[in-house]
Amino acid sequence: MTTLTEGKHTGEFIGQLAMGPGYHIDEVTLISGQNLAAGVVLGRITASGKYTTYANGAATGEEVAAGILYADVDASAGDVTTARVLRRGPAIVNGNDIGWGANDGTGITAGKADLLALGIKMDIFNDAA
């Protein structure tokens, strides 16, 4: 029997938004060289204003979590100027569905604090009742 694996869906990580998606989600430029899934935490490079994977140990801007990628984006061949990012709250997201890349526990804690400052609260939603 064939085993099927279901990936993440667009916006699946969002638990609650205070207003419609148009208020919370903006289009940004994702820097080339990345193929990212929905739910990955992003940082903003200070010099260019472009977004990349959040990296707590960096020193060029992306060490501050600036949002969460709303949908899959393949920027492996070049910058994508239409990447949609959850950039502001009030919002609650499912921490189980968030991608932190290579960040360790310290980086994740710092990233959660950065997101909370944007009004994006991390929660854990369980399927079992």
Tell me the pLDDT tens digit for each residue of 42-70: 999 999 999 999 999 999 999 999 999 99
Instruction: Tell how strand 51-53 and strand 73-74 pair up.
Output: unpaired
Q: What is the CATH number of the domain that holds 111?
A: 2.40.300.10
Q: In this structure, is residue 4 part of a structural domain?
A: no
Instruction: Give the C-alpha separation, 90 to 58, whole Å.
Output: 27
Which pLDDT does position 81 carry in this prediction?
98
Q: In this structure, is residue 59 part of a structural domain?
A: yes
Q: What is the mean pLDDT of the chain?
A: 92
Q: Spell out the residues 6+ positions from residue 44 whose beta carbon is closer than 8 angstroms to its own.
A: 28, 50, 51, 61, 62, 64, 66, 67
3-state class (DSSP) for residue 35:
strand
Instruction: Provide the number of structural domains found in the chain.
Output: 1
3-state class (DSSP) for residue 37:
coil
Q: In terms of residue numbers, what domain contains 87?
A: 25-123
Tokens standing for residue 51 = 């977004």
Which pLDDT does position 129 carry in this prediction?
45
Task: Tell me if 99 sits within 8 A of 85, measured CB to CB.
Answer: no
pTM for this model (two decimals) = 0.89
3-state class (DSSP) for residue 121:
strand
* Average pLDDT of the segment spanning 96-103: 94
Task: Tell me if 69 sits within 8 A of 40, measured CB to CB.
Answer: yes
